[in-house]
Structure 1
Amino acid sequence: MTVADELESASDRSGPGPEVSVIMITYNAAGWTQRSLAAVGAAFSERNYELIILDNASTSLDRDELTRWAGPRATVVFSDTNLGFGPGCNRAVERARGRYLLFLNPDAVMEPRCGDLLVRFLEEDPRRGIVGGRITAPDGELDYGSCWGHQTVYSLACFASGLSTVLPRNRVANPEGLGSWQRDSVRQVGVITGCLMLMTRQLFEDLGGFDERFFMYGEDADLCWRAGQLGYRPSITPDARAVHAIGASSASVVAKQVLLFRGKATLITKRSAGLRLRIELGLLQTGVFLRAVLDRRFGVRRSRGWNGLWQQRAEWRRGW
């Protein structure tokens, strides 16, 4: 990685080591980044923390402003190229000193004591391995996408048939969506998104960090899946809360969808082979095609950009 500049506080480095390293990968979205950084201090009243920021070659986020918002205790690294989310996190973790790693999106604002409560939740049962909290959108609506069930042949079949869209809160029709559960109770889940994700550094290292074949989207699902293979039980606590402005850094709906489906396709190509691989990729493409047809015919769910996603299928169907 080429790095244009790195700033860190020498006095902070000489003191006692932090318990928690907060890892943030920034890319544009200046307004939400400022809000997210301003809330970090109040999220930790019990635990000593450090803040490590890697900026992925932002084009509209001023370096001096980012450094000022981060504060003198932070390490701020500016990359000359956009490394992607997973690779950027891996580079940032190399500078981390905490026992715990908290991955925080720059468009996610933690509520007071959120960080403390996540650490406490993991310490109550270390076999959880990876933990997250209850996430809402800026308008107060629940962000159902803050955690998911694993992507499977069955869930892809539900997507291909359109059932997961017609019945999004039905656990049988949309198993990845986890039903109508309001994220208001402690529960083991398949996937905790990288928007707000806490784990020990030891587990992160045991897993080899994020798989860098994922540029963006899917790397958190893959990490949680690999943790599950080791016997860990990723879980959600409703006590730790944050607000998430979903997709604040995305240039457009279709651009975000292309990245998201590249991640989905990569999960398939990584785990499957032969006939199963062809079936799963076929189901994924069928689901997009169906929604694109409905877009063109009836204008259904046009805001999701299905028609544009289908037209750009060559860019995502084989993954990263």
Structure 2
Amino acid sequence: MKLSVIIVSYNVKYYLDQCIRSVLRAFEVIQGDDASSASSSSGKKDVAEIIVVDNHSSDGSLEYLQRRYPREAYPMVRFVGSNHNLGFARANNIAIRQSEAEYVLLLNPDTIVGEQVLSECIRFMDAHPDAGAAGVRMLNADGRWAMESRRGLPTPMVSFFKMLGFCNRWPKHPLFGRYYMGFLPWDQPNRIEVVSGAFCMLRRKALDRVGLLDEDFFMYGEDIDLSYRILKGGYHNYFLPLDILHYKGESTQKSSFRYVHVFYEAMLIFFRKHYAGMSLLLSLPIRTAIYASASVALVRMLMARMRKSLGVFTPSVVDESEYLLFDADKMSYGEILHQLSLRADEPDKLAIYTREIGKVITEGDVMDMDEMHNIYKVRAYII
């Protein structure tokens, strides 16, 4: 088997449904490549597989998706349930141990892959035996490239510059901008240091050498740790200019109290593990960043609750964005992503309708078609 796609999901059944649909379309290209190479006469099941680990969702995800993708019709799709939330690392490890393929892809459920992306990634990995992991160019729902598509290791110096905001102030500086590696071109393959866990294609031999995800990381940081261990294991990590969509990327969560706290706590785990000799020196500034950022988020949350409890009028924020509505039954996902990327400088946002799912899916909502028209402005139909 060539590829095992592993998706860990929690309460995002419609996003996951759309993600699985896009992966199955990409499998058809892999199957075609396999047939044309005459290396195998096996079916899709033997070329690639999807393993979904449901992290004890409360929205009926597991039951819904098992009905949508019954084993007899989709033998390449497997579902693994859990009676509690295992965390990202542990859930992925369970699936990795059950997987069989030469390459393992860790994929977020709120993503869409173009039809050619998986095949192109496999070709690159086949041609570059030094590649332990590969990531791709992630698009936000507004068509802009996500900065976390390429990252440097959060060494003490890099982390210090990030906490001071230098990576945002001078994004293309080779030192100050190293966290997001903004000095690299977006249209060329390049070696990077950290591959995002939202899309991380891994070589099985590299995993065998360096080990699986560290389960001390519950959420965030495990991709940084694994990327670092792959580098230390003698492999390289690569960025490939292939587009996928990531609806709810890192940038959409940075202001929340929970994100700030969990992310920086994950950084502390990373520092203690890989920079133990400097842990005392690093602990104070990192913890200061945690409490400062978390305090700002907490104050904002408490003030909002106080206004609400006191009956203070807060003008509601109306989404004035105009949406581009795509029909996924009439367009390939690759073409949808291409059209979205062409409009990165426009204010439009993405909405995708799929008749089989029966929903319109945007970055922040899932709704019926009538609801879409009642709530949002649809500037154009691209079908």
Check if 1:30 corresponds to 2:33.
Answer: no
Q: Which residue of 1 aligns with 2:247?
A: 245
CA change 1:145–1:247 in 2 (3 A) is closer
Whole-Å separation in 2 of the counterparts to 1:162 and 1:247 = 19
Whole-Å separation in 2 of the counterparts to 1:19 and 1:128 = 16
Whole-Å separation in 2 of the counterparts to 1:181 and 1:307 = 37
In our comparison, the structure showing a higher alpha carbon Rg is: 2
Q: 1:157 aligns with which of 160, 165, 171?
A: 160
Whole-Å separation in 1 of the counterparts to 2:240 and 2:6 = 20
Q: 1:46 aligns with which of 25, 30, 36?
A: 30
Which letter maps to 1:107?
A: D
CA RMSD of aligned residues (A): 2.5
CA change 1:156–1:46 in 2 (3 A) is closer
Identical residues among aligned pairs (%): 25
Other structure's SS at 1:199 match: strand
TM-score by length of 2: 0.67
CA contact (8 A) 1:37 1:70 kept: no
CA change 1:80–1:167 in 2 (3 A) is same
CA change 1:160–1:133 in 2 (3 A) is closer
In the TM superposition, residue 27 of structure 1 has moved relative to its aligned partner by 0.6
Q: Which residue of 1 aligns with 2:55?
A: 56
* Offset from partner CA, 1:256-311 (integer Å, 9 cap, x none): 2222222111101111224x112222222344456578x5xxxxxxxxx38679xx
Whole-Å separation in 1 of the counterparts to 2:163 and 2:141 = 31
Q: Which residue of 1 aligns with 2:313?
A: none
Question: Counterparts in 2 of 1:68-83, with a 5 A limit?
Answer: 68-71=67-70, 72-73=74-75, 74-83=77-86
Check if 1:202 corresponds to 2:205.
Answer: yes
Q: 4+ residue runs of structure 1 moved beyond 6 angstroms?
A: none
Q: Which runs of 5+ in 2 are unaligned?
A: 32-46, 302-383
Which letter maps to 2:19?
A: S
In the TM superposition, residue 93 of structure 1 has moved relative to its aligned partner by 1.3
Which letter maps to 2:89?
A: G
CA contact (8 A) 1:160 1:286 kept: no
Whole-Å separation in 1 of the counterparts to 2:233 and 2:261 = 31
* Offset from partner CA, 1:98-156 (integer Å, 9 cap, x none): 11111111011101111111111111111011111111112111011122100111112
CA contact (8 A) 2:260 2:290 kept: no
CA contact (8 A) 1:190 1:234 kept: yes
Other structure's SS at 2:138 match: strand
Which letter maps to 1:209?
A: L
Which letter maps to 1:188?
A: R
Q: Which runs of 5+ in 1 are unaligned?
A: 1-17, 296-304, 310-320
* Offset from partner CA, 1:240-259 (integer Å, 9 cap, x none): 32100125998x82222222
CA contact (8 A) 1:22 1:52 kept: yes
Q: What is the number of equivalent residue pairs in this alignment? A: 280
In the TM superposition, residue 170 of structure 1 has moved relative to its aligned partner by 3.4
Whole-Å separation in 2 of the counterparts to 1:290 and 1:173 = 21
CA change 1:307–1:228 in 2 (3 A) is farther
CA contact (8 A) 1:160 1:290 kept: no
Other structure's SS at 2:130 match: helix
CA change 1:282–1:22 in 2 (3 A) is same
Which letter maps to 1:220?
A: D
Whole-Å separation in 2 of the counterparts to 1:85 and 1:67 = 21
Which letter maps to 1:25?
A: V
